[in-house]
Amino acid sequence: MDGVSLQDRLDTKFMFKDSLLPALLERMKENYFVLEIKGKRYNHYETLYFDTSDFGLYLRHHNGRVNRYKFRSRRYVESDLNFFEIKFKNNKGER
């Protein structure tokens, strides 16, 4: 994990036919790697989300509001790392 930051990222999603996956992975292998922690490539995490008593934060997300907050506590089980995260999504695509 040295030199790798997972806290600030940009997600881009693509759709393609599953038959293209092997060729895409082959082309990407020079630029990407599989995260492995303590010999495991599939890692677990536990998340606790915080909200108002009327679920206002969830409802803003569900209803597509672009100016909204997310508060969560996350524990990465294998590494025993814990984070409290405050995230804000705005109408400018920034987080």
How is the chain split into domains, by residue range? Answer: 19-89
Q: What is the pLDDT of residue 59?
A: 94
**What's the distance, Cα to Cα, between the start and end of the chain in Å?**
23
Q: What is the pTM of this model?
A: 0.59
What distances in angstroms separate CA 10 from CA 51, 53, 78, 93, one per listed residue?
A: 25, 31, 24, 10
- Between 8 and 72, residue with greater pLDDT: 72
Does residue 71 carry a pLDDT above 90? yes
Alpha helices in the chain (DSSP H): 21-28, 56-62
Cβ neighbours around 3 below 10 Å, total? 4
- Between 70 and 1, residue with greater pLDDT: 70
Confidence of residue 83 (pLDDT cuts 50, 70, 90): very high
What distances in angstroms separate CA 42 from CA 1, 39, 48, 72, 77, one per listed residue?
A: 15, 9, 20, 21, 11
41-68 confidence digits (pLDDT tens): 888 999 999 999 999 999 998 998 888 9
